[in-house]
Each structure stands twice: as structure tokens, then as C-alpha cells.
């Protein structure tokens, strides 16, 4: 019988590997990370590198990190367990939950998409495998949103393709999924704790940042653009609505327990939590194609299940997922036919490529393969804060200023900077914040508009005129007073969008279109090749129009 090489090889995290990771960590400017390796026979290896706090405390296997979108797999398991346990909805009129139950039957008043057929036919598998037709409208929600409010605004968002026509990564649909779970179990977080975390003895894992901080093991978080410490991003209770898409906190010690049950479930080994194992066999199956062309020769095209990617790596099947948040980068991978799994948790964002390099190197060693120089295939290039030239628009800049709104996204007020801003006004406070960070970053724009725009991931938005009626939008989190012990201003969590203003026949500004390339997806050939987010904002009239039924 052929024995998978990872079962016969010696230690993966040996002295040479520990040295390799430390050198890689320093080159990629990763403050701290932890790695866990699990094998089919139950062997577990863990190690920590670098620091978990600005005070210099070292990372250990007990250190807590956000795991970002690796949380999505737990939502899939929770949905499956509700079905396995035949848990009825709290509202007796709602149907039993199945993977194919139409969402409209569970949320009859609150659920609707722009497309009527998609509204009628979309089911739990569709939204959990990113086949809803909607791209990632990640600026449509703010930090104080709720699962119900986000769900009710979906009808106003523009799709990129039809239901089940293409794969487009979408955090918002996992917000909807948690609203659905709550209709059956009351609080999906408590349900996951009782039905998943406690049976697997994952006692340090939590959805609560406050709870993680009280433990004394929560790592600080660093911004990958500025290398500055940033706050734990999910404040409570404001950010509770997004927890299902990426709000879990865990340690390497706990995550190796999670990997162990997945590995056992997929290799036919009996486990003490058979219901969880049964659901995992289903959720890890690919439901759609997420990458139609291979990224490099050693991997296959890629499928997506329910919270999991699935592909082939150098002849071995790999089931995996990334996790990215402000201050967080994570990666989990399982190689079921090889009996090997690995988890990487870091305390800085923008490090998905670092995690992939490290995981591939660990896999090469665990699988007994010749090492490929993954490090130099994706050579590290630091990202500077981008500056562009600004140009005078064809009409007065003040004509573009004002308040605009989109029924899905809400309102935004663009302010025209002045020479003497009144810091007692909303616009004056916005300009004061930009003045501080611009001076710190040594940037200056003549033709610009500024706004305070409190989103989940960002706090402000700046429009820089590129000529015509086209503007570059820089959406970011500003820290004009710094953070922690360093009070110097800085910018974190930065994104770029395109904004084109629309005018009527009298040359008056009536609104603008926002375009953003979301997570690259695969949609039909007769549709856009990228999942481009598009939202149209109209100049606000001050009138409110509530179209949501109650």
C-alpha cells in the first residue's frame, strides 16, 4: 500500500523551517504569526514567530488572532447542523431549513434582489457559494448596521450577472445567511459555540473581541500599508452584523483542533462529533467554478463550495480559504488525500501572498516534494501610499460638492476644502482630518473633494479630479491623531474607486456613478470579465422614501 509521504516524514516545523519562516517574516514585514500543522495520525505541530504587541510580547500558540473569512466555513457548518438536528424556525409559519429552501420563503418580507427571478429562486447554497449574481458591494454597509437592515437594502444593489451565471465573492450574502440562522436558533454565535466550539474543545475561540481582550492573549493588529498599529476592527456591539462573514477570533491551538476534525471527516475516520463531520463532507464539495484558468502550472482550476475553495496542488487535492481584515491575514488548507493540514495566522493585513508562499513551502516539505522557490515567484514589493496628479474639472469644483444618496449605500456629503475651514462644522472637521494626514504623508491636491463616510472598513473618502467629470476616489480610514502610543497621523485600510459625475442638459450635476473592481470573479463571456461593482448616487433632495415592508 502506498503511504502518503507526509505520514512518514519527520517534523515539518523543524529547525530549518523555523529559520526560513523567520527570514520570510522579516522580509515581508510581518510583526507576528503562528503556524499549526496537523497530520492524519493526530500529530500536531505549532510554533510562533515575532511579536503580538507593540510592547514586544512574543507570539505563542495561545495568541489570539482574527481569522477573517475563514469564519465562513463555520457558518456553513451551522446551517448544516440546523438541518441535521431538524431545528424548526422560531416563527412557526416559516419552512424547515434545507440547502434548497428559497430565501424568499424564509425572509418573505425582507429579502429581495433587483432581479425578480433571482429573488424568487435563490436558495441557501446560492448565497453561501457566491452565486447570487451580486458582486461584493462592501461599501454598502457601515459599522453600525444590522443583519436585517443590510438584507433589506439588497434590492437596491446592481448585479453583474444573473443568479447562478457566475461566481462573485460576496461578504453581504453571509450577512444574509446569519439573519437566516438567527430565525432558527436565535443567536448564531451562541449556536456555533454550543454545537461546534464546545464539542471540539475550542475554548479560546470567540466572536467577541471584548472576550478575546479579557483573556490577555489577543494580538495587536497592524495595517499593511502604513505598518502602524490599528484598533481591533470589530467593535461591539456595533459590528456584530458582520461577524458571520469574518468575525471569529481564534488561536493556533484551537484552529488545529478544527483542522483535525476536518481532516478526519474527509478521510473517513470516525469522530466524536459525527454530525459536524457529516456536514463538513458536504460543505467542502465544490458547487461552482471560482477560477476557470489555473493561476500557475502546479495548481488546477478552482471550485468553491460553502465557505471553501477546492483545487489540486502538485497532484494533491487542496481545500482552503483565506481570511483578510484590517490588521489580519489568515490561511487554512487541508490536503485530505495526503493526510495533512496547515493553518497560518498573522497580525497584519495585505499579506495573503505571504501566507500563500509560506503554505506552499510547508506543503512541499510535508508532502516530500522538491521545493519550488515560491518566494521569488511572488517577490515582495512594498506598496507606497499612491499619489496622482489632479486636474481642473470642466466646471467649478463647487458644482460637484453636496450630498448624494443611493438607496443601498446611504448618503455621502462631499465638501469643498477652503483656505480657512471652520472646525465647528462637519465639513471643517473633515478638512482638518485630511490636513493632518496629508501633511504627515506629504501629499497635496489642488482639485479635490472630501467626505466623512463611515463604512465598515473605512472612515473617509476623497475625490481627486482627473479631468472631464472623472475623479479618482480614495476611500480609507484616517487616523489624524494617530493610534496607541504613536500620535502621528496616518492612513490605513485604503481602497481606490472610479467616480464619474452625471450632468443634465443644463450642465448641472445630478449624481455620480461609483465603479470598483471587487474580488475577481468568473462571469459569462457576454458579461464583464471582472465582478465590477457599480452604484449610482443621485443628488439628495432630503426626502426619505421607505420602500421596505414591515
| DSSP per-residue string spanning 159-196 | PSS-TTS-B---SHHHHHHHHHHHHHHS-HHHHHIIII
Name the CA dihedral angle for 491, 207, 255, 233, rounded to a multiple of 10 degrees.
Answer: 0
How large a percentage of the chain has pLDDT more than 70?
Answer: 93
Binned at pLDDT 50, 70 and 90, residue 516 comes out as confident
> Which residues have C-beta within 8 Å of that of residue 356, sequence separation ≥ 6?
331, 374, 378
> What are the backbone angles phi and psi of residue 11, rounded to the nearest 5°?
-50, 135
What number is the average pLDDT over the span 323-345? 97
Cα–Cα distance list, 367 to 100, 248, 317, 361, 518 (Å):
38, 30, 12, 10, 34
| Distance between CA atoms of residues 478 and 489, nearest Å | 8
- pLDDT for 523: 35
Hey, how many other C-beta atoms are within 10 angstroms of the C-beta on 294?
Answer: 13
The label of the residue with cell 500500500 reads: 1
Binned at pLDDT 50, 70 and 90, residue 385 comes out as low
Is residue 321 within 8 Å of residue 69, measured between CB atoms? Answer: yes
Q: Cell for 49? A: 514567530
Report whether pLDDT(139) > 70: yes
Report whether pLDDT(53) > 60: yes
Nearest to 142 by CA among 325, 327, 323, 410: 410
- pLDDT for 380: 64
Residue 221 parent element (H or E): strand 221-222
> Helix, strand, or coil here: 320?
strand
Mean pLDDT in the chain?
91
> What does pTM read for this prediction?
0.93
User: pLDDT digits over 351-361, tens only?
Assistant: 999 999 999 99
- pLDDT for 97: 97
User: pLDDT digits over 62-98, tens only?
Assistant: 999 999 999 999 999 999 999 999 999 999 889 999 9
Cα–Cα distance list, 423 to 213, 429, 446, 450, 452 (Å):
35, 5, 20, 14, 13
Provide the CATH number for the domain formed by 76-188 in this structure. Answer: 3.40.710.10
Is residue 463 within 8 Å of residue 448, measured between CB atoms? Answer: yes
- pLDDT for 462: 96
User: For the residues of 426-450, what is the DSSP string, one character each?
Assistant: HHHHHHHHHHHHHHHHT---SSEEE
Q: Cell for 451? A: 467626505
Is residue 316 within 8 Å of residue 335, measured between CB atoms? Answer: yes
| Distance between CA atoms of residues 71 and 147, nearest Å | 16
| Distance between CA atoms of residues 251 and 344, nearest Å | 10
Lowest mean pLDDT among 108-117, 209-218, 238-247, 283-292: 238-247
| Distance between CA atoms of residues 447 and 370, nearest Å | 55
Nearest to 58 by CA among 255, 202, 217, 209: 217
User: For the residues of 243-259, what is the DSSP string, one character each?
Assistant: HHHH--EEEHHHHHHHH
Report whether pLDDT(161) > 80: yes
- Reduce the secondary structure of 44-88 to three states and give it as a string: EEEEEEEECCCCCCECCCCCEEECHHHHHHHHHHHHHHHHHCCCC
Per DSSP, helices labelled H in 394-479 are 426-441
Binned at pLDDT 50, 70 and 90, residue 240 comes out as confident
Report whether pLDDT(25) > 70: yes
Report whether pLDDT(522) > 60: no
User: pLDDT digits over 179-193, tens only?
Assistant: 999 999 999 999 999
What number is the average pLDDT over the span 465-493? 94
Report whether pLDDT(524) > 70: no
The label of the residue with cell 510554533 reads: 47
- pLDDT for 2: 40
Nearest to 262 by CA among 394, 393, 73, 405: 73
Nearest to 511 by CA among 414, 431, 367, 437: 414
| Distance between CA atoms of residues 35 and 61, nearest Å | 8
> Which residues have C-beta within 8 Å of that of residue 57, sequence separation ≥ 6?
51
For residue 495, how far is the Cα from the chain centroid? 14
Residue 329 parent element (H or E): strand 328-335
Hey, how many other C-beta atoms are within 10 angstroms of the C-beta on 309?
Answer: 18
CATH 3.40.470.10 for the 5-70+209-377 domain, yes or no: no
What number is the average pLDDT over the span 395-411? 96
| Distance between CA atoms of residues 451 and 442, nearest Å | 20
- pLDDT for 423: 84
- pLDDT for 149: 97
Report whether pLDDT(464) > 60: yes
Nearest to 536 by CA among 415, 404, 413, 448: 404
Q: Using the 8-state DSSP alphabet, how is residue 296 labeled?
A: S
User: pLDDT digits over 213-227, tens only?
Assistant: 999 999 999 999 899
Binned at pLDDT 50, 70 and 90, residue 521 comes out as very low
Report whether pLDDT(526) > 80: no
Beta bridge partners of 333: 320, 342
- pLDDT for 424: 87
- pLDDT for 543: 45
- pLDDT for 544: 41
Q: Where in the chain is the domain with CATH 3.40.710.10?
A: 5-70+209-377, 76-188
> Helix, strand, or coil here: 393?
coil
| Distance between CA atoms of residues 488 and 370, nearest Å | 47
> ∠52-57-60 over CA atoms, to 5°?
65
Would you give the end-to-end CA distance of the chain in angstroms?
Answer: 63
Binned at pLDDT 50, 70 and 90, residue 4 comes out as low
Binned at pLDDT 50, 70 and 90, residue 422 comes out as confident
Report whether pLDDT(126) > 80: yes
Kindly calculate the radius of gyration of the chain based on its CA atoms and give it in whole angstroms: 24
The label of the residue with cell 469643498 reads: 416
- pLDDT for 517: 76
Amino acid at each position: 500500500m502506498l503511504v502518503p509521504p507526509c505520514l512518514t516524514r519527520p517534523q515539518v516545523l523543524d529547525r530549518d523551517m523555523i529559520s526560513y519562516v523567520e527570514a520570510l517574516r522579516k522580509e515581508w514585514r510581518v510583526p507576528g504569526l503562528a503556524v499549526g500543522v496537523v497530520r492524519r495520525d493526530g500529530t500536531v505541530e505549532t510554533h510562533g514567530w515575532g511579536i503580538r504587541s507593540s510592547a514586544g510580547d512574543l507570539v505563542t500558540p495561545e495568541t489570539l488572532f482574527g481569522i477573517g473569512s475563514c469564519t465562513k466555513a463555520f457558518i456553513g457548518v451551522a446551517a448544516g447542523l440546523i438541518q441535521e438536528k431538524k431545528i424548526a424556525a422560531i416563527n412557526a409559519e416559516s419552512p424547515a431549513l434545507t440547502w434548497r429552501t428559497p430565501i424568499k420563503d424564509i425572509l418573505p418580507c425582507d429579502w429581495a434582489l433587483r432581479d425578480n427571478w433571482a429573488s424568487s429562486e435563490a436558495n441557501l447554497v446560492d448565497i453561501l457559494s457566491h452565486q447570487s449574481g451580486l458582486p461584493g458591494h462592501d461599501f454598502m454597509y457601515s459599522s453600525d448596521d444590522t443583519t436585517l437592515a443590510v438584507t433589506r437594502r439588497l434590492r437596491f444593489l446592481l448585479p453583474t450577472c444573473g443568479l447562478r451565471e457566475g461566481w462573485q465573492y460576496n461578504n453581504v450574502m453571509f450577512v444574509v445567511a446569519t439573519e437566516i440562522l438567527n430565525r432558527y436558533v436565535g443567536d448564531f454565535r451562541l449556536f456555533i459555540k454550543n454545537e461546534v466550539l464546545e464539542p471540539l474543545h475550542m475554548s479560546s475561540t470567540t466572536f467577541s473581541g471584548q472576550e478575546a481582550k479579557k483573556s490577555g492573549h489577543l494580538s495587536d493588529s497592524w495595517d499593511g500599508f502604513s505598518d502602524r498599529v490599528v484598533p481591533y476592527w470589530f467593535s461591539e456591539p456595533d459590528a456584530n452584523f458582520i461577524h458571520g462573514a469574518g468575525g471569529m477570533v481564534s488561536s493556533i491551538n484551537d484552529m488545529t483542533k478544527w483542522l483535525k476534525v476536518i481532516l478526519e471527516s474527509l478521510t473517513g475516520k470516525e469522530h466524536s462529533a459525527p454530525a459536524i463531520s457529516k456536514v463538513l463532507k458536504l460543505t467542502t464539495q465544490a458547487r461552482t467554478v471560482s477560477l476557470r484558468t489555473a493561476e500557475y502550472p502546479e495548481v488546477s482550476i478552482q471550485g468553491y463550495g460553502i465557505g471553501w475553495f477546492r483545487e489540486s496542488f502538485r497532484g494533491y487535492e487542496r481545500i482552503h480559504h483565506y481570511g483578510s481584515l484590517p490588521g489580519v491575514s489568515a490561511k487554512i488548507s487541508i490536503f485530505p488525500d495526503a493526510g495533512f493540514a496547515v493553518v497560518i495566522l498573522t497580525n497584519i493585513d495585505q499579506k495573503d501572498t505571504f501566507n500563500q508562499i509560506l503554505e506552499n513551502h510547508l506543503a512541499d516539505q510535508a508532502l516530500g516534494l522538491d521545493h519550488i522557490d515560491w518566494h521569488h515567484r511572488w517577490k515582495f514589493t512594498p506598496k507606497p501610499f499612491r499619489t496622482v496628479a489632479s486636474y481642473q474639472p470642466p466646471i467649478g469644483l463647487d458644482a460637484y460638492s453636496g450630498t448624494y444618496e443611493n438607496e443601498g449605500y446611504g448618503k455621502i456629503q462631499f465638501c469643498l476644502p477652503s483656505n480657512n475651514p471652520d472646525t465647528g462644522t462637519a465639513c471643517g472637521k473633515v478638512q482638518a482630518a485630511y490636513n493632518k494626514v496629508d501633511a504627515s504623508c506629504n501629499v497635496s491636491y489642488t482639485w479635490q473633494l472630501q467626505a466623512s463616510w463611515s463604512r465598515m472598513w473605512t472612515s473617509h473618502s476623497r475625490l481627486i479630479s482627473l479631468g472631464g467629470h472623472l475623479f479618482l476616489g480614495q476611500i480609507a480610514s484616517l487616523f489624524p491623531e494617530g493610534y496607541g502610543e504613536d500620535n502621528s497621523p496616518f492612513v490605513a485600510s485604503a481602497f481606490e474607486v472610479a467616480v464619474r459625475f452625471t450632468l443634465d442638459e443644463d450642465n448641472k450635476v445630478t449624481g455620480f456613478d461609483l465603479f470598483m473592481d471587487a474580488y475577481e470573479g468568473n462571469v459569462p463571456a457576454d458579461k464583464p470579465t471582472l465582478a465590477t461593482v457599480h452604484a449610482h448616487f443621485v443628488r439628495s433632495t432630503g426626502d426619505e422614501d421607505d420602500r421596505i415592508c414591515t
